[in-house]
Structure 1
């Protein structure tokens, strides 16, 4: 490879450039005077982190064309800068400092590092891994076994995900390899956005700390600064990241350049309620039996449409207020509260929907001395309660501030992203103490505690008012957790997404500021905005939900993989769901910036059916279809009977869809005081710190040193799916009275060999596959044929040993872990495929038409 490339493209390839270095140096030593001799050699061998002068061998010939390793670009995506680089593991092995050059070469991956207006992409130059010699020719590729995003590769991150950039200065010539490995931390320098700081010396490496707890480490080739046209690749990449990873305006986001059209797959099938219309809120009032409240649309209020008056209010497009209060009086009272957030109804509980959950902001600083307006607002809320009782939960003094949450998050992330093996071992020795000092689990405990208190208040038929400074941060957390504990509908995937739309999107949690999507120039001068406004409140909520999943594993339709993916999706600017502070910003972006609005809930835009399969909990138990409420909730079942999905009826899901009314019409006869929310499906979680755990899949999935093969929750989940697959096969054999396809586990249990399939059975199955197509609401439904049972290899994914199933190749961070080798991919894919039929019929997440 030529050494004089300075345009960031990685240079042009040359078959003899590297080998000519030694000849050039030899001639220099003979023909040139001593004072003009200098070393012009460029090393391309994977160095130790921070020491790039230790090895003096050129790359093999098959790795010289680094410019060919170009990233895949989306519509509107452009490359800003590129450079050849080595990517290292987040924690280099402890023996790296004393390893040979061949081992060092294996520890690093050589390729092209590129910065675009959308992502930071590393494309390895090495060829794809060959399939194992003993694997089947039809085995599924490795990419089919791990979560593969349509927009991002495995070694790519969005610019929105980048939080901190550290530069590592180049070591002197006299530094040893051991010093290089140990001095990495001390030579790291944080790259501050918007500050024209001078970078002294060359940049040998970059450490990228991501908001989703990922640590990326890149090292660059050493080049002599005196060579004509030489480029400092590290400075080139660092400058591009500093310019594009911290946008000063939202319209600089890649979402505005990506103009790919978005089309809903189907309309008319109710799934996720977006709460973008008045009917969405009215339907929720009907479901909860909240007859003392009314929906107000800002577009229908003349005062809010007056340009001279509209600026005084920051209310959402649709909100629910007491019926006993006129809209004009309500708006007049709301001006005394922060962000005009007076009492907003969000939920009601009880047989008659009498007890309500209400969100309320605090008074403006100028009005805090006079609480008359607040007392009037609380009295209006009290009148909506059947028993005229009310409990006020003041969250500002009881829960952490957004600054406290940000500090706890930063401490937790530092604990989860050690940059050296020495630091990892040092933290490991006192891990529990360091974890306690982060206060993260303490804040999770507080959120669960006060949400349980709010839920208990509603169960006592007493209205609960949640009050916070602006009513848009911790109010979202407590309100959402309260409804999760009370209402089983919100524990389904569609219900949970509807809950986020209602509590976080429609009522305008400031995602843009809290997740750091924008860094205004006015704040960049003194670096105050980043510290005071950014706070991962949504991650705190997701962690609380994960704790509920651990305590009630069969009550939730979604899995921890779904929650982890949801956190990652917060940094995908292609989807508008988590990119704005309020509806006004979103509407302005769609109108003026021609932004294509694309909801994140349409998971088919990002993932295949195989990936979405891991979003559904195989042991989730849904109520009978006849007991499902009109909005997807459950009700009318005092005994609380539920059926197991493994032995459920084939058309239960279709019956639930058929009984669901249209989203665009509301039957006035349904508006009664009787709530359809079940009263016997509430949860009472443990909230003390020693009852909680660390969400290891989300926080530690990027640390290979913590990966446990054949252990962890993914191992249990796969066993559940295997059991679900076997039960589905047995159920089908019973339905068809054809026992030729009994699962292998049956014959293993009775100790008999599985009989070969008869030609008659094959003929009967071929006839059965030609049965007439069934249509439900105009949607074609076919019974998916079960794949043939796999042949169990000698050392495959599952081998019966003493009657026990062995899954030793599975990563504990699956589907985010390291690749699986050997026969494991094919066997794992078979388990997923064989359980696909039942999951498709019972889980709404796999149906793209559920997005409305």
Structure 2
């Protein structure tokens, strides 16, 4: 049925038969071909972008109700994107609610292409390599969960071969790093001035940034920043500068090529620290094992120095998630949103929740949040240093350490702080974005959405504690989209060494050093100031200004006070971590994981009391934040996953409608405060400012600002699987649309 360009409207007991058919006839297309050619849309190319192939007389199907209509136009492929240039009438200004300056509605960047399918005689088949037969319809599934349908039936055969082969080659075939569009754009784009403001994002590419972060978190008492890896002579996966315990000498760092070194992540207000470490290589030689034993002994003694003698190691490689679990869960999960047509949507609607549960994606999010809460409880309630351990400390270590900081540090919930956190823990921290996003199409096994999992976990926190976050869920959504925009260098390298080797200081070609490198944090590249308003949370509670006047007899407290009342501190044991059997345990390290060496005697659910006690009190937006993890508290990030499905919209409802009402109330409060301020000038009014689109538009939906409301489809009251009980489908085809009252369900 898809091959004929039509979609049926329902199901029944007999063989599937469409109740309504919308035909797209060739004569209608060619009748308007001349007129369409005259108003053909111009292809806009970025600096360095080149046109590779194109095809004319292509139909892009648009989902509408139970049928499809086609839009005539050209399908082009460049070294940056796949674009459809159609003769669709221009949208009203009110409808264009959130426009990206780099990528249009019908543009797909090459790294964003997930799978390509062809329709041969109404049968759908995945396409790859060289084809012997070319399809009459092309279906493209994108990593941002968009689905595009292109009909090639009326396109010339030569053009079909050229465009299909070109798209498959440039999106599915393995490629070299230097062939990414990032390099073409960097060489051709004009120099971009770097914005430098008081709230700038720390890039952590200099020793000064690390020192500033140490000073901010009061971690400079026990830890120090060093540039021993300058030129990446110690380890290619570590940044040039990083922070280690103050007692660790620079001579000890080069041992084992950076493995076994505790890297500082963040310091808690009570002096405890969060660290991460990559595991030592498993060697069989007794001499090397003895060296490892003495090396680890010195490393651990440098961490648990008085008065914080306790250290707990979390071996994430053995006691937490595996990358395979994350990959498998997301592969199942994303299929719920890659919907080819309306009929498929309603056919799966009745079993949607069971499919969601079987994917285990929400369960993985819940496990990540629980693990972060466990670490928070150790840092805050037990005053323990936490050492996260992983093979390369570049995946799950990044995830857990980032979540802990978002929960405990209010600075990480500001826009600049959150961006600095991602730079520190993910970009400079060595997360393999190139492999995990599979930008080079070299290994599907390495494609694991660890960073997307982190953003989903942050979204859960943001939804439950919205006033504590300066950014919105729209910010998180467009940040996830930016993973596939190859004009930014932020998410396209496995390490800083790889980035510098191709674009920066280590490049042998002097002309490369003058390249203009964009970071994703410059949001003006993608959005106009009006659209950037939607990235800022108007309900964010600003930190109150502290009274700097010193008071007699008062002791200055740290600026990051937690909302949880501190429990009586546990008495520090007389013996440190290394007990009498230390030597015996370290010798048993041969072939054993370090977590067994440092296993805690406390039960695994010791965080439960801490968790329940915190939720029994009002939350402080500038203190500790803990998410609820029970049952329905962890839910689907609807804006990101459902935004391209018209049937999933709730017109006039959802979070956007709630936000609009809140902004109306805030405006009333501000008006009253301004009147009070006229009589009492010392009183300050409310300074919150909401997005004008959100305030003025009466045509919002639950998927704002991505939904195009003039194209939403009418949804049946019952799923298609229940239509057969309401009568023969031929009768339903002759009836007018009517409301079916289900009563109280």
State the TM-score bracket (shorter-chain normalisation): 0.7 to 0.9
Pairwise CA distance, 1:538: 0.5
Paired with 1:498 and 1:784, the residues of 2 have a C-alpha distance of: 24
2:452 is aligned to 539
1:237 is aligned to 163
Structure possessing the higher radius of gyration over alpha carbons: 1
Pairwise CA distance, 1:690: 3.2
1:157 equivalent in alignment to 2:108: yes
Cα pair 2:239 2:429 within 8 Å, conserved:
yes
Cα pair 2:82 2:109 within 8 Å, conserved:
yes
SS in 2 for 1:166: strand
Pairwise CA distance, 1:496: 0.7
Paired with 1:249 and 1:491, the residues of 2 have a C-alpha distance of: 37
Pairwise CA distance, 1:271: 2.4
Trace 1:126-145 onto structure 2 (pairs within 5 A).
126-129=88-91, 140-143=93-96
Q: CA RMSD in A?
A: 3.4
Distance 1:784 1:414, change over 3 A: closer
Pairwise CA distance, 1:583: 0.7
1:123-182 Cα offsets, whole Å, 9 max, x none, are: 2213324x6xxxxxxxx5533xx211111111112111111111112x3xxxxxxxxxxx
Cα pair 2:372 2:404 within 8 Å, conserved:
yes
TM-score in terms of structure 2 length:
0.75
Pairwise CA distance, 1:623: 1.6
Trace 1:94-173 onto structure 2 (pairs within 5 A).
94=66, 96=67, 107-129=69-91, 140-143=93-96, 146-169=97-120, 171=121
Paired with 2:562 and 2:322, the residues of 1 have a C-alpha distance of: 42
Distance 1:125 1:165, change over 3 A: same
Pairwise CA distance, 1:198: 2.8
Paired with 1:394 and 1:695, the residues of 2 have a C-alpha distance of: 29
* Stretch moving more, 455-464 or 358-367: 358-367
Pairwise CA distance, 1:119: 0.9
1:64-87 Cα offsets, whole Å, 9 max, x none, are: 417822321111112112223122
2:131 is aligned to 198
2:60 is aligned to 87
1:475-501 Cα offsets, whole Å, 9 max, x none, are: 111000001111111111111111111
SS in 1 for 2:151: strand
Paired with 2:655 and 2:160, the residues of 1 have a C-alpha distance of: 39
Paired with 1:729 and 1:367, the residues of 2 have a C-alpha distance of: 74
Cα pair 1:466 1:475 within 8 Å, conserved:
yes
Paired with 1:504 and 1:639, the residues of 2 have a C-alpha distance of: 26
Paired with 2:313 and 2:633, the residues of 1 have a C-alpha distance of: 27
1:573 is aligned to 486
Cα pair 1:120 1:157 within 8 Å, conserved:
yes
Paired with 1:232 and 1:71, the residues of 2 have a C-alpha distance of: 21
Distance 1:217 1:191, change over 3 A: same
1:252 equivalent in alignment to 2:148: no
Pairwise CA distance, 1:275: 1.1
Pairwise CA distance, 1:263: 2.9
Which sections of structure 2, spanning at least 5 residues, go unmatched?
9-21, 549-556, 565-619, 681-686, 712-745
Paired with 2:325 and 2:145, the residues of 1 have a C-alpha distance of: 18
Distance 1:385 1:728, change over 3 A: farther
Distance 1:727 1:365, change over 3 A: same
Paired with 2:409 and 2:131, the residues of 1 have a C-alpha distance of: 56
Distance 1:159 1:733, change over 3 A: farther
1:136 is aligned to none
2:625 is aligned to 683
Pairwise CA distance, 1:638: 5.9
Structure 1 residue corresponding to 2:358, chosen from 437, 454, 458 = 437
| Number of residue pairs aligned between Structure 1 and Structure 2 | 610
1:287-324 Cα offsets, whole Å, 9 max, x none, are: 22221111111356xxx67xxxx376532111111121
Structure 1 residue corresponding to 2:435, chosen from 513, 519, 530 = 513
Structure 2 residue corresponding to 1:297, chosen from 227, 230, 242 = 227
Pairwise CA distance, 1:737: 6.5
1:589 equivalent in alignment to 2:502: yes
Paired with 1:786 and 1:217, the residues of 2 have a C-alpha distance of: 37
2:581 is aligned to none
2:142 is aligned to 210
Paired with 2:538 and 2:26, the residues of 1 have a C-alpha distance of: 52
1:717 is aligned to 659
SS in 2 for 1:168: strand
1:216-268 Cα offsets, whole Å, 9 max, x none, are: 11112336xxxxxx425443222111222245112211121122124335435
2:241 is aligned to 318
Structure 2 residue corresponding to 1:272, chosen from 193, 201, 209 = 201
Pairwise CA distance, 1:555: 1.1
Pairwise CA distance, 1:784: 13
Structure 1 residue corresponding to 2:371, chosen from 450, 461, 467 = 450
Cα pair 2:238 2:430 within 8 Å, conserved:
no
1:362 equivalent in alignment to 2:279: yes
Trace 1:549-568 onto structure 2 (pairs within 5 A).
549-568=462-481
Cα pair 1:441 1:689 within 8 Å, conserved:
no
Paired with 1:605 and 1:635, the residues of 2 have a C-alpha distance of: 37
Structure 1 residue corresponding to 2:406, chosen from 479, 484, 493 = 484
Structure 2 residue corresponding to 1:286, chosen from 205, 215, 240 = 215
Pairwise CA distance, 1:731: 3.5
2:263 is aligned to 344
Which sections of structure 1, spanning at least 5 residues, go unmatched?
1-44, 97-103, 132-139, 172-182, 224-229, 521-528, 629-633, 642-677, 739-782, 791-795, 799-806, 822-852
Distance 1:190 1:292, change over 3 A: same
Paired with 1:383 and 1:330, the residues of 2 have a C-alpha distance of: 18
1:631-678 Cα offsets, whole Å, 9 max, x none, are: xxx95486979xxxxxxxxxxxxxxxxxxxxxxxxxxxxxxxxxxxx9
Paired with 2:327 and 2:561, the residues of 1 have a C-alpha distance of: 44
Paired with 2:426 and 2:45, the residues of 1 have a C-alpha distance of: 32
Paired with 2:40 and 2:141, the residues of 1 have a C-alpha distance of: 27
1:69 is aligned to 41
1:620 equivalent in alignment to 2:551: no
